[in-house]
Structure 1
Amino acid sequence: MTDAVLFDGVRLEHPGGRVVLSGVDLRIPAGAFVGLLGANGAGKTTLMRAILGLLPPRAGSIALFGRRAARGSNLVGYMPQMRAALSVSLSGRALVSAAVNGRRWGTALPVASRRREVDRVLELVGAEALASRPLDELSGGERQRLLLAQCLIGDPRLLLLDEPLNSLDPSRQAELVALVRRLQREHGITVLFSAHELNPLLGALDQVLYLAGGHAALGSVDSVVTSETLSRLYGAPIEVIRSGGRIFVLPGAPGLERAA
């Protein structure tokens, strides 16, 4: 089976020349739910931008389902971090509708087809009741459902979700993770789910992709989230503690940010 994402010797740099990731080789299998973890500034959003074709690698190559990653690919649905600008009187349906023609080249979809596509993705995420409500009356979890519907337009095979749990309470976090897991299983979608903390994702993950120190480690939670592996990535002592079904990643040296 073709890998959903293939990094071959990838080096990513910010426009100013700062190296974010170097020498990254990884294969994400099609249909997997992968948690993307790492401290702030580790390169999670940068990696997603590279997959989207918005940041070409300075070295190496990136392929999606056997094709070179390129800007505007209809293989990928992207859910960016929540923006304050969404707090407007735009309705839920209008927000999702705005993405329909943005996912297509050439002429716009006919009105009837556009309406059916919006209805389809709203139903997929259980957001039909949100369609007529203005965004500034919705909770953070409800807005995230609409943004998830938006990135499902056009049946993408890969979803990139950039820290969608930010600012959600634990119950809403659990609801969103369960929804994404259900969609992933029922539709065979590959999911790369970025998060600042590992624990909300534990029941859903097939693999974890951990970024630190310009490097990456991909594998099962038990093989990657260990003191040995994370200490190697960070180049400094890291302690991993498992307690009560939760995992805590703690710096073992002064000055290191809490890792997950």
Structure 2
Amino acid sequence: MTLARPVVTDGVAHPPAAVSCQALSIGHGERVVLQAASFSIPAGSFVGLLGPNGAGKTTFLRALLGLTPVRSGELHVFGASPVCGDSNVGYMPQSRTPIRVSLTGRDMLASSLHGERWGLPLARAEGARRIDEALHAADAQDLAERRIDALSGGELQRLRLAQALLSAPRLLLLDEPLASFDPVRMREAALQIREVARRAGATVICSAHDIDPLLGVMDSVLYIARGRARLGSVDEVITSSALSDLYGAPVEVYRSPRGRVFVSADVA
């Protein structure tokens, strides 16, 4: 990917947005996931990607990876069109399938070292350094020599996060990374991901089924529903009026005294 030059306004140079969409339409088969969506995600931000099951959150992430083609409009990642295999983009896919192979955590990361490109392998010492750095960034050093078929769901998620960090990406795409944790660990894992991203200087787009673990962690919400998208703060997007507009039907948002958010919708 050829990186875009900074945007200059009023004599001040600003880095290009991490992700920008202009009248973007994407989908799979005959189904439209996003229709004429326009928004921009600032570099360095943490965005929670929310929406009902089947709304197209994963399809949107795949478009950012260059795996789902743009039907119309424009989609840019750091000012350039998405390209499959771009080392500037790290991806942690959604996975709930148990791993039944006798590899160690280090072996798992080593098998991914050269997955982003064709060419000669890195020198062994350089590859080991990258693995060690990724394990450290994900707080997974203790899993390096353990067999992955004996790890808990949460431990495996830490290794998958390390795997996504191998190329030192500028954009980190996480597809339901909290799904394997219990409610208490969800919050801890979300805070850890934010800290990892801040140390790496990476922008994060994190899809989630439940908004509560991300409250106070994310900078903004990108909500997708019925082919439409809205990006903004939690107070701007997770409201009865905003979600009713997205769904085209009445939606009620309730907040408990402890800050939990409940969304009630009666939509087909």
Q: Please give the range of the TM-score, normalised by the shorter of the 2 chains.
A: over 0.9
- Picking from 50, 57, 73, the partner of 1:37 is 50
- Residue 102 of structure 2 aligns to a residue in which SS? coil
Say if 1:103 and 1:153, in contact at 8 Å, map to a contact too.
no
Structure 2 SS opposite 1:68? coil
Q: C-alpha separation between the residues in 2 aligned to 1:72 and 1:187?
A: 20
CA contact (8 A) 1:19 1:214 kept: yes
Instruction: Tell me how far 1:90 sits from its aligned partner.
Output: 1.5
Q: Which amino acid letter does the alignment assign opposite residue 7 of structure 1?
A: C
TM score, norm. by length of structure 1: 0.94
1:126 is paired with a residue of what secondary structure? coil
Q: State the SS of the aligned residue for 2:76.
A: strand
The one-letter amino acid of 2:264's match is L
Contact 1:8 1:24 in 2 (8 A): yes
Name the CA distance, whole Å, in 2 between partners of 1:94 and 1:62: 35
Within a 5 Å distance, the mapping from 1:68-79 to structure 2 comes to 68-79=81-92
Q: Does 1:10 align with 2:27?
A: no
In 2: Cα distance, 1:245 partner to 1:121 partner: 34
Q: Is the 8 A contact 2:222 2:230 kept in 1?
A: yes
- Following TM superposition, by how much is the alpha carbon of 1:116 offset from its aligned partner in structure 2, in angstroms? 0.9
TM-score of the two chains, using structure 2 as the length reference: 0.91
Rounded to whole Å, the distance in 2 between the matches of 1:154 and 1:104 is 11
Match of 2:141 in 1: 128
Indicate the residue corresponding to 2:193 in structure 1.
Answer: 180
Superposed displacement of residue 8, structure 1: 1.1
TM-superposed deviation, 1:21:
1.1
Q: Percent identity?
A: 52
- For structure 2, which runs of at least 5 residues remain unmatched after alignment? 1-14
- 1:6-42 deviation line (CA, Å, top 9, x unaligned): 111111121x221111011110000000000000010
Match of 2:7 in 1: none
Residue correspondences, number: 253
> CA offset at residue 85 of structure 1?
4.9
CA RMSD after TM alignment: 1.2
Q: Distance in 2 between matches of 1:139 and 1:194?
A: 21
